[in-house]
């Protein structure tokens, strides 16, 4: 077995992660990312049959879900080289190679977890959530969703955005590395890029920008509150947003 194959096997078993938190900082494992890229290069396309379905791909499918303690609802798919912790539930969804999904996390219907994304424990990725993959450059941080976060339906999170622990994103929030995340709770706005602070309650927003042709609204996200310390992680997303008078 080559070094690349050994690394992918370790990623698949959760013995190695593409990124891990050391203190307050997330550190990227560049060797692991290189292995994922190289694995794509060395693998050949092979037919795969799953019941009546046929695929043609370079990466095998993940297996042994009963042994792993993972519930997988057809036609959910996880690729070999992704790690799924015990208690994960995959509704019809997709998890790509290099991703890590923490214990008791729900990946809901038509949600996607991109390559190398790191999803914490007790997270809920609601229906249609798009978690982007980040493979290159190898030193780039993947998308990270920390423990206990609620990501509402049809949210899109890409370009290495970090969602802090127990944050709540309302439906349709779209975040890239350059989309402003603006805390509007104080007398002056406080702006973040590529980062949502822990326990923040975030909704979609816009702000005006002048162009030669006129003034137009560009997308941003607004931090309108903080989850109460007494709010349990398993409280429904709808209830948290109702607490801030935001309909879902």
| Range in 106-115, 185-194, 239-248 with the lowest mean pLDDT | 239-248
Residue 234 confidence class, pLDDT cut points 50, 70, 90: low
Domain ranges of the chain: 3-145
What's the pLDDT tens digit per position in 160-216? 999 999 999 999 999 999 999 999 999 999 999 999 999 999 999 999 999 999 999
Q: Is the CB of residue 135 less than 8 Å from the CB of residue 37?
A: yes
What's the pLDDT tens digit per position in 124-152? 999 999 999 999 999 999 999 999 999 99
User: At which residue do the structure tokens 């969804």 appear?
Assistant: 93
Percent helix, percent strand, percent coil in the chain, to nearest 5: 15, 35, 50
pLDDT at 231: 61
pLDDT at 50: 85
What's the pLDDT tens digit per position in 13-42? 999 999 999 999 999 999 999 999 999 999
CA dihedral (71, 72, 77, 78) in degrees, to 10, reads 10
DSSP code at position 211? E
Q: What is the mean pLDDT of residues 228-244?
A: 65
What's the pLDDT tens digit per position in 76-89? 999 999 999 999 99
Residue 226 confidence class, pLDDT cut points 50, 70, 90: very high
Residue 232 confidence class, pLDDT cut points 50, 70, 90: low
Q: What is the mean pLDDT of residues 31-60?
A: 94
User: At which residue do the structure tokens 């990501």 appear?
Assistant: 151
pLDDT at 51: 85
Backbone torsion region of residue 91, taken as left when φ is above 0, otherwise alpha when ψ lies between -120 and 50, otherwise beta:
beta
Burial class from Cβ neighbours inside 10 Å (0-12, 13-18, 19+) for residue 217 reads: exposed
CATH topology of domain 3-145: UDP N-Acetylglucosamine Acyltransferase; domain 1 (2.160.10)
């Amino acid at each position: 077995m080559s070094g690349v194959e050994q690394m992918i096997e370790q990623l698949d078993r959760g013995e190695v992660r593409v990124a891990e938190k050391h203190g307050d900082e997330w550190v990227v494992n560049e060797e692991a990312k290189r292995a994922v890229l190289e694995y794509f290069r060395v693998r050949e396309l092979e037919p795969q049959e799953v019941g009546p379905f046929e695929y043609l791909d370079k990466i095998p499918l993940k297996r042994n879900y009963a042994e792993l303690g993972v519930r997988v609802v057809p036609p959910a798919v996880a690729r070999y080289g992704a790690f799924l912790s015990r208690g994960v539930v995959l509704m019809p969804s997709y998890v790509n190679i290099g991703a890590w999904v923490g214990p008791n996390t729900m990946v809901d219907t038509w949600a996607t977890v991109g390559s190398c994304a790191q999803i914490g424990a007790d997270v809920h990725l609601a229906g249609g959530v798009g978690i982007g993959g980040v493979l290159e450059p190898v030193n780039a941080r993947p998308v990270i969703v920390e423990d206990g976060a609620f990501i509402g339906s049809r949210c899109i999170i890409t370009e290495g955005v970090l969602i802090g622990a127990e944050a709540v994103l309302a439906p349709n929030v779209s975040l890239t590395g350059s989309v402003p995340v603006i805390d509007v709770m104080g007398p002056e706005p406080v702006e973040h890029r590529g980062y949502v602070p822990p326990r923040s309650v975030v909704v979609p927003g816009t702000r005006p920008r002048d162009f030669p042709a006129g003034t137009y609204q560009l997308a941003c996200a607004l931090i309108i509150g903080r989850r109460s310390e007494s709010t349990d992680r398993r409280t429904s997303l709808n209830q948290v947003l109702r607490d801030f008078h935001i309909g879902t």
